[in-house]
Chain A
Amino acid sequence: MVTGIETLSAAKELEEKITRFDIHQIIQHALLMVSFILLVVTGLPLKFHDFAISQWWTAAWGGIEATRFTHRFAAWVMVSVSVYHLLYLWYTINILKRPFPIKMVPGLQDFIKLAQELGYFMGLRKEMPRYDRFNWKEKFDYWAIFWGIPVMAGSGFIMMYPVLVTRFLPGWVVPTALIAHSDEAMLALIWIFMVHIFFNHFTPGVFPFNTSIFTGKVAGERYRREHPLEYERLLGISEQKEETDDESKSDAERNNETDSPDF
């Protein structure tokens, strides 16, 4: 997933745009977002069926049959995106021989930087922690989906085909699936709208709308602020004068370790 290296020379010459996401990542995010929104708007009326607005909204879609169809359609889109992402990972690593995207893997550093970030918010520190390619929020979003989609798709499938499923599994899976589906959906919804949207669109420097996930490009100046460690490595001006080589895992790990004393 690390594609920044390819734009290294470009970024050196032209300090304006840095390519952060490739076309596959842009498509995956777009499809995930559209299917997520469709799932939310057709799923919420079911959870809050008592509200008058739910009844009005369902009727506006053309009845519960229409919202159900849309919910199932969007669910298959979301599952397809997940499969696309896994295939993409496999393809880039095994066929294109790119390095395993080690920077997405969470570690102790993320907890330290989380504490540092909270310290900054509380006024205990003067600066935000210096992040590498992904900050802890981005990693949380990514891994939450790794947990969330199997839970949602699995429980959704059980409720979609309860007769088929209970031919192989005990009957209690159906009410259990409903509980898991409902709670996990609320968790995802609240997190996305409260944390994800806030930090990606409403923070200073990006407000009112952050286009990076839709265009794949980030202004160099902003990159320097938000992902200083990766930015410096891209430009070859890392304090340790480290090579910009992150092909090797051990180098990347060493990077992480040597980063810590700076804070």
Chain B
Amino acid sequence: MSQPPKQAGLELRRLLPFLAFGLVLTGSVLTLSATKVAGLDENNCLSCHDNPELIKTTADGKRISLHVSEEALSKGAHRYIDCTTCHTSEPHKTDTPLTKLSLAQKCGSCHQYQYKLHLESIHGQQLIQGNPDVATCIDCHSPVGNPHSVIRVLEYNAPTYKKNIAQTCGQCHGNEKLMANYGVVEKVYESYMRSFHGKAMQLGTYEVTQLDKATCTNCHGVHDIKSASDPTSPVAGLNNLANTCEQCHPNAGTNFASGFLGHKEASPENIPVAHYTEILFTTLLISVVSFGAIVVIMAIIRFSANKWRE
């Protein structure tokens, strides 16, 4: 009679390791998912600045938000750098807001090399002249253009992640009105996406291993980007262009580079053979396909009529 309860106890004891494992698993999942990565905030700045309604009114009556989102900050590349690293020791005496140039200077206090290259670039040169159109650090490095949410290049959602670079450049360079002010008429973004480089980039996944295709920065440079008409640009003139092609296509040479349509459609001026080939083949395509369609439609009608008469 004592057998059955004893056996039940044994059964339970056998289950114990599983029970313990289950507990540890649930516990770790709960703990890990509950852990919030918090930005470093040694001086408790966020106790006031995490308030979306914190607004300052300047002398000339402008209202400026002083809100710093803790959530954005906690996902940023600089989450372990204290606020005062950038906002110096007496943050309440800093002039706000920053200009595009002073912001670049601020980033440059640590990222000196990139700052130096940027100042020599077409973007930096225009910044120095006070042009507000051009890109400064956060225009490319933050998805929302906010210095508190700069994210690292290798994060898949970073505007500077390789798969996203063309879209990032396209924000300005795909804007026809903005580009018309600089005499840039080529639709650089569309023509890139039409090219094999753009297609391969678009069809590839977000895996880094699939992103060995060329994007804007591979040919035009990164922080040191130059105007395409600047003779020092890697794409200016056939020789520079050929050297740039050769970074990925060994021994390409100028003959190879001369086949590049230059972000333009083929036209009687721009690679005329390609232009006339397009006309020839489009005509052929349309005429043959229309002929086929007409024959098939006529056949369908006649065969249906035959069937209907039966």
Across the interface, B203 reaches (CB within 8 A) one of A54, A123, A173, A190, namely A54
B155 within 8 A of A: no
A170:B258 contact, CB within 8 angstroms: yes
Q: Mark A169-182, 1 if CB is under 8 A from B, else 0.
A: 01111111011100
Across the interface, A172 reaches (CB within 8 A) one of B196, B199, B271, namely B271
Within 8 A of B (CB), among A241-256: none
Across the interface, A204 reaches (CB within 8 A) one of B196, B292, B301, B307, namely B307
Among B6-14, B102-110, B226-234, B277-285, the stretch that binds chain A is: B277-285
A175 in contact with B292 given A170-B255, A203-B303 (CB within 8 Å): no
A162 within 8 A of B: yes
A176 CA to B272 CA, complexed, in Å: 9
A31 within 8 A of B: no
Bin the interface of chain A by size.
35 or more
A183 CA to B287 CA, complexed, in Å: 12
A46:B199 contact, CB within 8 angstroms: yes
A170 CA to B272 CA, complexed, in Å: 13
* Nearest-CB residue, chain B, relative to A54: B203
Q: How far is the CB of B83 from chain A (nearest CB, A)?
A: 41
A163 CA to B259 CA, complexed, in Å: 11
A176:B274 contact, CB within 8 angstroms: yes
Give the residues in chain A near B199, CB-CB below 8 Å: 46, 49
A116 within 8 A of B: no
* Nearest-CB residue, chain A, relative to B249: A163
B237 within 8 A of A: no
B274:A179 contact, CB within 8 angstroms: yes
Give the residues in chain A near B147, CB-CB below 8 Å: none
B256 within 8 A of A: yes
A172:B303 contact, CB within 8 angstroms: no
B210:A65 contact, CB within 8 angstroms: yes
Q: How far is the CB of B45 from chain A (nearest CB, A)?
A: 43
Q: How far is the CB of A235 from chain B (nearest CB, A)?
A: 27
A160 CA to B285 CA, complexed, in Å: 24
Q: Mark A183-217, 1 if CB is under 8 A from B, else 0.
A: 11011001100110011000110000000000000
B205:A175 contact, CB within 8 angstroms: no
A64 within 8 A of B: yes
Within 8 A of A (CB), among B253-299: 253, 255-261, 266, 271, 273-274, 277-278, 281-282, 284-285, 288-289, 292-293, 295-296, 298-299
Give the residues in chain B near A19, CB-CB below 8 Å: none
Q: How far is the CB of B104 from chain A (nearest CB, A)?
A: 35
A183:B266 contact, CB within 8 angstroms: no
Bin the interface of chain B by size.
35 or more
Q: What's the dominant secondary structure at chain A's contact region?
A: helix
A123:B296 contact, CB within 8 angstroms: no
A122 within 8 A of B: yes
A179:B307 contact, CB within 8 angstroms: no
A120 within 8 A of B: yes
Give the residues in chain A near B298, CB-CB below 8 Å: 118, 121-122
B203:A175 contact, CB within 8 angstroms: no
Give the residues in chain B near A175, CB-CB below 8 Å: 259-261, 266, 271, 274
Q: Mark A91-120, 1 if CB is under 8 A from B, else 0.
A: 000000000000000000000000000101
Give the residues in chain B near A162, CB-CB below 8 Å: 249, 256, 259
A129 within 8 A of B: no
B202 within 8 A of A: yes
Give the residues in chain A near B165, CB-CB below 8 Å: none
A118 CA to B291 CA, complexed, in Å: 11
Give the residues in chain B near A163, CB-CB below 8 Å: 249-253, 256
A123:B305 contact, CB within 8 angstroms: yes
Q: Mark A150-168, 1 if CB is under 8 A from B, else 0.
A: 0000000001001100110
A46:B203 contact, CB within 8 angstroms: yes
* Nearest-CB residue, chain A, relative to B210: A63
Q: How far is the CB of A198 from chain B (nearest CB, A)?
A: 5
A55 within 8 A of B: yes
A45 CA to B204 CA, complexed, in Å: 11
Within 8 A of A (CB), among B181-221: 193, 196, 198-200, 202-205, 207, 210
A198 in contact with B299 given A179-B278, A180-B277, A204-B307 (CB within 8 Å): yes
B87 within 8 A of A: no
Give the residues in chain A near B58, CB-CB below 8 Å: none
Give the residues in chain B near A35, CB-CB below 8 Å: none
Across the interface, A64 reaches (CB within 8 A) one of B200, B250, B258, B301, namely B200
B289:A190 contact, CB within 8 angstroms: yes
With most chain A CB atoms within 10 A of its CB, the pick from B204, B256, B282 is B256
Instruction: List 4 additional A-B contacts (Cβ < 8 Å) besides A166-B252, A175-B261.
Output: A59-B205, A64-B200, A167-B251, A179-B274
Question: Which residues of B come within 8 Å of A, CB atoms?
Answer: 193, 196, 198-200, 202-205, 207, 210, 249-253, 255-261, 266, 271, 273-274, 277-278, 281-282, 284-285, 288-289, 292-293, 295-296, 298-299, 301-303, 305-307
Chosen A-B contacts, 18 in total, with CB atoms closer than 8 Å, are A46-B199, A54-B203, A58-B203, A63-B205, A64-B204, A166-B256, A166-B259, A171-B255, A171-B256, A172-B258, A173-B259, A175-B259, A178-B196, A179-B266, A179-B281, A180-B277, A194-B289, A194-B296
